[in-house]
Amino acid sequence: MDILRGIKGAPDWLPPEAGAFDAVERAFLDTAALGGYERVRTPVFEPTEVFARGVGASTDVVQKEMYTFEDKGGRSITLRPEGTAGVLRAALEAGVPRSGTLPVKWSYAGEFFRYERPQAGRQRQFTQVGVEALGATDPVLDAEVVLLGWEALKRAGVGEMTLRINTLGDRVDRPAYHERLNAYLDDFEGDLPPDVAERRHLNPMRAFDAKAPGMAEIMAGAPLLADHVNDEAKAFHEEVCGLLEAEGLVLTHDDRLVRGLDYYTRTTFEYQAAGLGAQNAVGGGGRYDGLAEDLGWPEPFPGVGWALGVDRTLLALGEAAAPPPRAEVFVVAADPTLAPQAFGLVARLRRAGVAADQAFAGRRMKAQLKLADRSGARLALVLGADELARGVVTVKDLASGSQREVADAEVLAAVTG
């Protein structure tokens, strides 16, 4: 019988890469926490409506990529393909808009699912960390969010990056613009790929994202939303950009950046990492002032946020991805009769907060020292019968090979000092 295999596009993360993966996730979450964003946890599945209405019927995500199934109660359920719709659904359900202490600033981390064609940097299960700032329309908040994402990627170790930014204006600007864009696309009706031809009456802006051959040429002459943005939204965007530039960020203004989700209004942005090829966006986000109403809230409730991809960031880090060492200190017993003492010393180190490990199954000293090296530990503590009788332990520096004896009572100080 063949061994069972996992699902295509749903990667296994094993040591040491899984350690590096955690380090990236932690760097993102720590940065969010520095900005006052509090953790939330929402379900990995939601009623399908949350995404169908939230993410938007014209998007690839909703049209082609959702893992949707009927549960035993006959309800249509979808594995979350993105974070914002579910988090906002939770906020509305909890009555956050009426809480009086707005904005609330939340962060999340977890697994997301899209039925995409798996390739480097594009999977069917992937991990995102995200932030959402809900309940305020203020350019300072947009700038905070954009800057925080940048800092989060830097903290995770990403080197060269580009920040692409655009404004999509408000929803009131859309109908007139959609009409103009559709009128423009009419002239190319016969040349449009079927999905653009079908979806352009739901949202012609999708055509900017279409990758089919010839589309880039067609769209090169398309009317731009930037020319249809109302003055207030324009001034808002200029303020956001000004704040970011004052912090030293170099902005790449991209008036074709519409992003793959329908809910964005005003600010949209994407972080791209150098050297990633086609899938070079490590994260992105924007403002979504109309989303709450799409989810059934009776009045506008604004929000702005981003999601950063952990898997793809790790890809961008390449060799620079650094899993933490498995142990700081490795305890080596010179002969098998000292196993209880080694066990006791490892326990003592761990209680003191030192990551410690040892060998098992009665290995010889040389093999134990090899394992010590492999563990990434800085120090080996070698226990010998003679030394123990004298109340000392040998502390060996695994990088330099130098060693010295330390009194048993001083061991903790010696490894932490």
Report whether 11 contacts 119 (CB < 8 A): no
Write out the binding residues for ligand AMP, residues 182-201 only, by CB under 6 A: none
Nearer to ligand AMP, 185 or 314 (CB): 314
3 state SS of 294 = helix
Rg over CA atoms, the chain: 27
Question: Does residue number 32 form part of the binding site for ligand AMP (CB under 6 A)?
Answer: no
Q: Which is nearer to ligand AMP, 72 or 117 (CB)?
A: 117
- Answer for which of 89, 174, 237, 312 binds ligand AMP (CB under 6 A) is 312
Stretch that binds ligand AMP, among 34-42, 223-231, 306-314, 341-349 (CB under 6 A): 306-314
Q: Is residue 363 close enough to count as binding ligand AMP by CB under 6 A?
A: no
Rounded least distance, CB 130 to ligand AMP, Å: 8
Binding of residue 173 to ligand AMP (CB under 6 A): no
Span interacting with ligand AMP, options 46-54, 309-317, 329-337, 364-372, rule CB under 6 A: 309-317
Shortest distance (Å) from residue 85 CB to ligand AMP? 11
Report helix, strand or coil for 370: helix
Nearer to ligand AMP, 284 or 302 (CB): 284
Please give the Cα distance from 394 to 402 (Å, whole number): 10
Structural tokens at position 115: 């039925």
Comparing CB distances to ligand AMP, the nearer of 128 and 358 is 128
Number of residues that bind ligand AMP (CB under 6 A): 17
Residue 128 or 267: the one with the smaller Cβ distance to ligand AMP is: 128
Provide the minimum distance between the beta carbon of 48 and ligand AMP in the complex, in angstroms, as a whole number.
18
Gap between the Cα atoms of 54 and 33, Å rounded: 26
Q: How far is the CB of 276 from ligand AMP (least distance, A)?
A: 9
> What is the nearest approach in angstroms of ligand AMP to the Cβ of residue 139?
21
**What secondary structure does DSSP assign to 18-56, as a single string?**
HHHHHHHHHHHHHHHHHTTPEE----SEEEHHHHHHHT-
Residue closer to ligand AMP by CB (options 128, 368) is: 128
Which residues does 39 contact at the CB level (< 8 Å), separation at least 6?
Answer: 29, 33, 106, 107, 108
What is the b/e burial string over 394-412, where b = at least 16 CB atoms within 10 angstroms of the residue's CB? Answer: bbbebeeeeeeebeeeebb
Region 264-303 residues binding ligand AMP, contact defined as CB under 6 A: 281-284
Q: What are residue 70's DSSP bridge partners?
A: 76
Taking a C-beta distance cutoff of 8 angstroms, is the pair 97, 66 a contact?
no
Residues 97-136 that bind ligand AMP (CB under 6 A): 114, 116, 121-123, 126, 128
Q: Pick from 25, 144, 311, 328 the residue near ligand AMP by CB under 6 A.
A: 311
Alpha helix (H) residue ranges in 35-138: 48-54, 60-64, 84-93
Question: Among residues 172, 279, 153, 273, which one has the least CA distance to residue 228?
Answer: 172
Q: Does 260 bind ligand AMP (CB under 6 A)?
A: yes
Nearer CB in complex with ligand AMP: 85/342: 85
Check if the beta carbon of residue 207 is closer than 8 Å to that of residue 303.
Answer: no
CB of 328 to ligand AMP, least distance (A): 32
Q: Yes or no: say if 193 and 207 are a contact pair by the CB < 8 Å rule.
A: no
Count CA atoms closer than 13 A to 103's CA, side-chain side.
25
Q: Does 309 bind ligand AMP (CB under 6 A)?
A: yes
Using CB under 6 A as the criterion, which residues of the chain lie in contact with ligand AMP when the complex forms?
82, 114, 116, 121-123, 126, 128, 260, 281-284, 307, 309, 311-312
